[in-house]
Structure 1
Amino acid sequence: MSAIRQTETRPATDTLLSVRGVETFYGKIQALRGVDIEVHRGEIVTLIGANGAGKSTLMMTICGNPQARSGQIVYNGQDITNLPTHDIMSMSIAQSPEGRRIFPRMTVIENLQMGAILEDEANFDEDLRKVFTLFPRLKERRGQRGGTLSGGEQQMLAIGRALMSRPKLLLLDEPSLGLAPLVVKQIFEAIRELNTNEGLTVFLVEQNAFHALRLAHRGYVMVNGSITMSGTGRELLAREEVRSAYLEGGAH
């Protein structure tokens, strides 16, 4: 498969997700330090950084667990900073978490049904067709238990399950983690297709900076819980600090 194409920069549109001055703690340990990010409708925005930088903590803070100790998170015009997770996730936000976390004893179809549990049953067949078109391997494995799938198939299932809820915002936490390079390209091309064809807004947390920045319209770099750089995906790919810190061995 050829290399992933560079995503063209889009003009700024209205903001779907705004994170302002967010600080998050685990007990007395501060994990996020005054984080500011914005995600506009129809964009793919990525957050890159080393393992332990605080990327997944930001994703979890957006979802309400843990909650921000200070700062503000606004989604679709509503302040969600102090809302419980179940309320946030019922607002057309879907997450494919780090480590996939599918239901291993359930079949592929049953996992997808769990993703659609809050959605209108009338949409199920149409949404299922879309997921199977995006990930044909899942159609082949539809009756197979999730725990017996390969790592790449499990990641496809985790994303497919999230899509079954018809989200306005898709949160992806380390979708390439532990996957072979060919499978990584397939996953990232599927994310691009969702954004291009469906207009889906995506916030992507990734260690694989090369693929993430080529995919994203805009990106942020996190170091020790703080945002240290931001720009278009193309701009960040060209920055020497980014190339030396994050791209060595990443351009597969």
Structure 2
Amino acid sequence: MSATDTKPLLTVRGVKTYYGNIIALKGVDIDVHQGEIVTLIGANGAGKSTLMMTICGNPRAREGSIVYDGEDITRLPTHEIARLRIAQSPEGRRIFPRMTVLENLQMGASIDGMEFFDTDIQYMFDLFPRLKERLHQRGGTLSGGEQQMLAIARALMARPKLLMLDEPSLGLAPLIVKQIFDAIRELNRRDGLTVFLVEQNAFHALKLAHRGYVMVNGVITMSGSGRELLENPEVRAAYLEGGAH
């Protein structure tokens, strides 16, 4: 049975989000099924990050509904949403720069009560060996790629059912981007982890994803399998020409 035969883990329906009087999301509908990698692509400023933040409750949707694992979370406070095994690695990484790599990972694990810390940290070292080498280094002294690895690992330490990644490839060298996308693929393949990925690098994101959505000016304009969108002439013209590498 494919992931799309199951009930969605995350359902967003008719979501409208405002910044003051400016409407950023204009009635967005998306589904993320258990065990899928779903990507949302679009130009800078299309509203992709706003959707991810709205799912996490900040800003709050003014209209529409967000249902996660059968529970309506549209009005829940952000800290309660985090306890429902939704973990976010936000745009810009936002690690704790004065804390060591180890302390950052401990912060991620604290949501789950630290019970599995020793097992989970070993898994993070398997995924991102560089973090083991940097374990007692302050987060702020890491390279951009290492900080992104740490941001993802910190989110994973909470043992999420849904991992949300906002622009994980932003500003990184191609080799590091490949390492990070390989790690996301491995998490999904090995653990069945459900991933919702917001990404400007449409080529890598659609190659990785089971399904994708295209957002333009706060509206979903297209959806399909990753392969369908990769091969779509409009998507190729808008997001892939010259950007495949």
Identify the match of residue 143 of structure 1 among 125, 136, 146. 136
Q: Secondary structure at the match of 1:121?
A: coil
Q: Contact 1:10 / 1:217 at 8 angstroms: preserved in 2?
A: no
Match status 1:181 vs 2:174: yes
Q: Distance in 2 between matches of 1:124 and 1:25?
A: 39
Aligned to 2:14: 21
Letter in 2 for 1:209: A
Aligned to 2:81: 88
- 1:216-231 pair list within 5 angstroms: 216-231=209-224
TM-score, normalised relative to structure 2? 0.98
Q: Distance in 1 between matches of 2:45 and 2:214?
A: 13
Letter in 2 for 1:201: T
Cα pair distance change 1:93/1:10, threshold 3 Å? closer
Task: Compute the displacement of 1:30 (Å).
Answer: 0.2
Deviation string 1:110-151 (CA, Å, 9 cap, x unpaired) is: 000000112132300000001011000000110111000000
Aligned to 1:128: 121
Cα pair distance change 1:152/1:241, threshold 3 Å? same
Q: Distance in 2 between matches of 1:102 and 1:87?
A: 20
What is the root-mean-square deviation of aligned Cα atoms in Å? 0.9
Letter in 2 for 1:241: E
Q: Distance in 1 between matches of 2:222 and 2:115?
A: 44
Sequence identity (%): 77
Aligned to 2:40: 47
Q: Distance in 2 between matches of 1:250 and 1:185?
A: 14
Q: Contact 1:213 / 1:219 at 8 angstroms: preserved in 2?
A: yes
Aligned to 2:49: 56
Q: How many residues align?
A: 244
Q: Secondary structure at the match of 1:228?
A: strand
Q: Secondary structure at the match of 1:129?
A: helix
Aligned to 1:194: 187
Q: Distance in 2 between matches of 1:162 and 1:70?
A: 28
Identify the match of residue 201 of structure 2 among 200, 208, 212. 208
Aligned to 2:92: 99
Q: Secondary structure at the match of 2:46?
A: coil
Q: Distance in 1 between matches of 2:4 and 2:87?
A: 25
Aligned to 1:67: 60
Structure 1, gaps ≥5 residues long: 1-8
Task: Compute the displacement of 1:248 (Å).
Answer: 2.1
Aligned to 2:102: 109
Task: Compute the displacement of 1:12 (Å).
Answer: 3.1
Q: Distance in 1 between matches of 2:97 and 2:57?
A: 25
Q: Secondary structure at the match of 1:51?
A: coil
Task: Compute the displacement of 1:250 (Å).
Answer: 1.9
Letter in 2 for 1:187: I
